[in-house]
Structure 1
Amino acid sequence: MILYVLLVCSFAVATAEFVLVGLLPQVAADLGVSVPAAGQLVTAYMIVVTVGGPVAAVLTRRLPRRELLAGTMALATVSAVASAMATSYAMLLSARLGSALAQALFMAVASQVAMAAVPPERQTVAVARIFGGFALATVLGLPLGSLIGEAYGWPVTFVVVAGMAAVGLLGVVVFCPRIAAAPPAGVRDSVGALARRPVLAGLGVTLLALTGFVAAFTYVAPMLRTVTGLSPGWVSVGLVGYGLGTVAGNLLASRVRPDAITRRLPLAVGALALILLAQPLLLPVPPLALVGLALLGAAAFLVVPLVQTWLMGQVDAATTGLVAAVNISVAGAAGALGAALGGAVLTVGLGPAWIGPVAAVSVLAATTVAAGIARASSAHGASSRALLRR
């Protein structure tokens, strides 16, 4: 049951992140600011998620996980309520920063709770369930939140988000098992764990793969409009297809056993690279463009849970929360780099269709790193078996 509770919680915090994107014009008009100024709410949110996660993980490392998770969801609930009640830009900014901190801490703590609550062979399923909430938020949370905001006003959207977060909080209180905090690692030990070669390689896969993915996804609407020639309605259909693809990729990731991740990861990252390379061929044909967008979402959400699960298995219990938070921070940095990369392709005049092939260079580098992880894991396994036979 706790995995379903974590799914609800992740859906709530992810919807809190995404929903403002569809409400920027209404928020700007009501608060008397420009749309670009309202957009800075999104930027500030992502900065807190990127920087705040590791810091919060270190500061809360001595707290029991169940109580910390409940506190995190309480912060998410209160922040959503504060967003709904905001009557000025400063008030909404403060509330959004609270939501961002809740999300940053949630991803680290929830991953720890999920892995501790299941047998080792189901840990990939557990972590994938958390990212499944983010996948569902792209399919349901963002469009429904936008529709509610357009019909009843943007504050009502945040009231709904607060309700979902409150349900998640109740589920944590009722169903989350007591999981004691691991003996906290010192700063030197924590940094040492993050500096180990396998951990750095895993973080490298996240950085390189998501930089390429975000470069293409950031400009997917212009691609579909100008290259494919789709109407706004069909662009929305394509985004729904992308969301369904993320759900499918997440479900596929949940079927990979932890001991098989290193063998499957190069294939998953390689598939993402091939989809990006094929963009100039897929985009001019509307049905293929829509299928390609769904496959793009599926590949990305296959890679992310696999890397997160594998990284947390490379460190001791005292450092799992920190490595999970750092991986999310690296993903945030990849988002910024990817958006800049896609913009650079357009700036030099290559056109939207060529963002995919350029972005694929980064993902191909991630594939090489993932293949190196697989070879190292295979060699380690072979040496362990040889020792056992002696």
Structure 2
Amino acid sequence: MRGPLLALMVCVFGITTGEFVLAGILPAVAGDLDVSIPAAGLLVTAYALGMIVGGPLLTAITAGRPRKPLVLGLLAVAVAGNLLSTVAPGYGVLFAARVVTALVTSTFFANAIVIAVSAAPPDKKGSTVAKLAFGMNLAMILGAPLGTWVGEAFGWRATFAAITVCCAIGLLLVTRSVPADQPGTRGRALREFTVFRDRNLLLAIATTAVANIGLLMVFTYLAPLLTGPGSFSASAVAPMLLVYGVGATIGNLVGGRLADRALLPSQLGALVLLVVLLLALWVSPTPVLTGLLVFAAGAVGFSVIPGMQARVLTSAAAAPTLAIAVNASAYQLAAAFAGWTGGRIISGPGVAAIYLVAAGTTLVGLALTGLAYRRERVTPAATG
């Protein structure tokens, strides 16, 4: 499975870089297309909305189809969408290109997980999923900073051109290495929607949607936060994205271990700490402290994600593929709201206030996690 897994990891890296890199090139895109930074931030919202709609819808429509040709088709759309982003003559076309690319992303991720796990030994399924997730981490550690550097050196269009090439290479690797498969039961995903009658699953998805808004808001507008109240130079944005990505990767790995030991208690503790870190960023007096806090916020914020995914899968054992797609849509709903809200904050009280609002939304996510923990203690059997 090494060849197919590597091919899928390359695809995950390329597609995810296309999502994350906007945080580093946002000012450049806004300046080149002659729009405000809040308007450029709506490109993040557009991508998120595309995933929100495309994930569950495409997962249902494509139920029962052979996975390899399906994944190849989804990748072809991603290549075309990033290529259109590269040559977009104006803001409207770029906006549409981001939506087109996003429409296929959640369904691709869900099917990639199923392809990888189905070919893995029974005792390697968890590590297989972790390796696919590592492709997303690499997008943060390497993809977003490299994409930002490419944008600074050659223009933001060169960034999307590089992403297009990466996705195309991934498509070729999948063509060569992923074996053909047989179609499943057609229409099965439509019946799987009944799993959403489970209140624990709905609460788990709601927690994903709400608890991640704050950190996503900070990440989306990290460039203006650093160059404004953070007193960093524009050239420091790419290294700081790297710092954030390293923290996120460490947090993801540590968070997975903590979730295995005590899922909801570890999530509660991490969200409390994240609120403290966001408030500390708001009052941070020096760039050095801000840099340390950015690292810590990335680590703590991403430490909760493995547990959130595990809780969704546990609560939806009868329909894991659809649950993954819907949970991804919930995460993107958080990203969409974060992008829109952050833009309104910049236009109103100012960019520094993003930290305060982010802390407030994280508190709401903490409350939802507390509710889930209480339900688990009252009715342990209900959590699966």
- Under TM normalisation by the shorter chain, which class is it? 0.7 to 0.9
- Residues 86/59 of structure 1: CA separation in 2 closer, same or farther (3 Å cut): same
Residues 1:284 and 2:285 aligned together: yes
Q: 1:180, CA displacement in angstroms? A: 4.2
Match 1:211 to one of 210, 213, 216: 213
Report the AA paired with residue 65 of structure 1: R
Report the AA paired with residue 266 of structure 1: P
Q: 1:315, CA displacement in angstroms? A: 3.2
**Match in the other structure for 2:271:** 272
Q: Deviations over 1:56-89 (max 9, x none)?
A: 1111112122222222222222332333344455
Structure 2: state its 5+ residue gaps: none
Q: 1:313, CA displacement in angstroms? A: 4.3
- Residues 35/280 of structure 1: CA separation in 2 closer, same or farther (3 Å cut): closer
The 1-side partners of 2:41 and 2:228 are apart by: 24
Comparing 36-45 with 62-71, which one deviates more in the overlay?
Answer: 36-45
The 1-side partners of 2:57 and 2:66 are apart by: 17
Where in structure 2 are the equivalents of 1:316-327 lying within 5 Å?
316=317, 319-327=319-327
The 2-side partners of 1:231 and 1:155 are apart by: 22
8 Å CA contact 2:71–2:111 kept in 1: the answer is yes
Q: 1:148, CA displacement in angstroms? A: 2.1
**Match in the other structure for 2:68:** 66
Q: Deviations over 1:194-229 (max 9, x none)?
A: 221231122122123212333444555565566655
8 Å CA contact 1:77–1:165 kept in 2: the answer is yes
**Match in the other structure for 2:364:** 362
Report the AA paired with residue 273 of structure 1: V
Q: Deviations over 1:267-307 (max 9, x none)?
A: 03421321322444463365443233212212232322332
The 1-side partners of 2:213 and 2:26 are apart by: 25
Q: 1:16, CA displacement in angstroms? A: 1.9
**Match in the other structure for 1:50:** 52
8 Å CA contact 2:45–2:339 kept in 1: the answer is no
**Match in the other structure for 2:113:** 111
Comparing 306-315 with 10-19, which one deviates more in the overlay?
Answer: 306-315
Comparing 97-106 with 233-242, which one deviates more in the overlay?
Answer: 233-242
Q: 1:374, CA displacement in angstroms? A: 5.1
Identity of aligned residues (%): 34
The 2-side partners of 1:161 and 1:244 are apart by: 21
8 Å CA contact 1:128–1:253 kept in 2: the answer is no
TM (norm. structure 2) is: 0.81
Q: 1:325, CA displacement in angstroms? A: 1.3
Residues 1:131 and 2:133 aligned together: yes
Comparing 324-333 with 288-297, which one deviates more in the overlay?
Answer: 288-297
Larger Rg: 1
8 Å CA contact 1:117–1:177 kept in 2: the answer is no
The 1-side partners of 2:12 and 2:136 are apart by: 6
8 Å CA contact 1:211–1:338 kept in 2: the answer is yes
How many residues align structurally?
Answer: 377
Q: Deviations over 1:232-254 (max 9, x none)?
A: 55555433211111111233355
8 Å CA contact 1:276–1:359 kept in 2: the answer is no
8 Å CA contact 2:249–2:299 kept in 1: the answer is yes
Question: Secondary structure at 1:61's aligned position in 2?
Answer: coil
8 Å CA contact 2:252–2:306 kept in 1: the answer is yes
Please report the RMSD computed on the Cα atoms of aligned residues, expressed in angstroms.
3.6
Residues 1:293 and 2:275 aligned together: no
Report the AA paired with residue 327 of structure 1: N
Report the AA paired with residue 106 of structure 1: F
**Match in the other structure for 2:144:** 142
Report the AA paired with residue 331 of structure 1: Y
TM (norm. structure 1) is: 0.80
Report the AA paired with residue 303 of structure 1: V
The 2-side partners of 1:223 and 1:95 are apart by: 27
**Match in the other structure for 1:328:** 328
**Match in the other structure for 1:315:** 316
Q: Deviations over 1:121-180 (max 9, x none)?
A: 443333333332222222322232233234334443333212211221122223334454
- Residues 310/3 of structure 1: CA separation in 2 closer, same or farther (3 Å cut): farther
Comparing 237-246 with 273-282, which one deviates more in the overlay?
Answer: 273-282
Question: Secondary structure at 2:212's aligned position in 1?
Answer: helix
Report the AA paired with residue 8 of structure 1: V
Q: 1:7, CA displacement in angstroms? A: 2.0
Report the AA paired with residue 295 of structure 2: A
The 1-side partners of 2:185 and 2:23 are apart by: 40
Comparing 328-337 with 175-184, which one deviates more in the overlay?
Answer: 175-184
